[in-house]
Amino acid sequence: MYYSFLLETLPKLLLLQPFLADDLERQVLMWDQPWEDDYLGMLGFNTEQKVKYDPDVVYFATESLLYPSPVVHNEPSLNAMLATRAALNVAVLPAAERGLVIYCKGAANASSAQHVDNEDEIMAAIQTLVIPEDRFVIYDDALSMSAASTIELFEQAKVVIGPHGDGLSNILFSAPGTQVSLKYTLMHATPITVDASIYSAYAPNA
């Protein structure tokens, strides 16, 4: 859901922004997930404008209904992503300030398709390859970082690794050219493997 929010909903909210910002009578239907308010605030929305969507309720607009262009599921356009980065003031840091190797943890729920059975082993294997050690960061979306901290973290990424899922959506904030190793866990409990080639990109002593 975080993925859809970041890459599909934020671009639509950007289209609505000029019509909604500063007008508390205009409201927007949202899922009311914990991460929403931070991003809405950064885009100039007031959280009082948020209405939690309830599938059992019929909504109607008394004056006008604003409907942004849809963003195709799983295929946000480059323009949509660039506009979102710009609206959130995402910076492209100088290469020297982009040294982090970030592992995005999979789902904790062992029944989830985004769960990785051998995750501890994988993280330990990566850790041994990253020098200095403090450049290795584990991103766990269960820890609910603020939007600002999430953006700041992923701006500093040199390599982002992880199973497909919400955590990896944050590469939206990483600089062009950041190495990304995406592992699909197509079947529940399929262990992911670490592809050594990604590490060759990370040569701290080179």
Ligand X SMILES: *[C@@H]1O[C@H](CO)[C@@H](O)[C@H](O)[C@H]1NC(C)=O
> Could you give the string, one character per residue 94-133, with x where binding to ligand X holds by CB under 6 A and - elsewhere?
---------------x-xx---------------------
**Angle at the Cα of 27 from the Cα atoms of 26 and 28, rounded to 5 degrees:** 135
Total residues binding ligand X (CB under 6 A): 3
Handedness of CA 6, 55, 60, 50 (dihedral sign): negative
Q: What is the closest distance, in whole angstroms, from the C-beta atom of residue 160 to ligand X in the complex?
A: 24
Q: Is residue 190 close enough to count as binding ligand X by CB under 6 A? A: no
Distance of alpha carbon 129 from alpha carbon 52, whole angstroms = 45
Q: Which is nearer to ligand X, 109 or 197 (CB)?
A: 109
Distance of alpha carbon 44 from alpha carbon 41, whole angstroms = 5
Nearest to 20 by CA among 81, 53, 65: 65
Q: Which is nearer to ligand X, 109 or 205 (CB)?
A: 109
Q: Which is nearer to ligand X, 181 or 185 (CB)?
A: 185
DSSP code for 165: S
Catalog residues that contact ligand X under the rule CB under 6 A. 109, 111-112
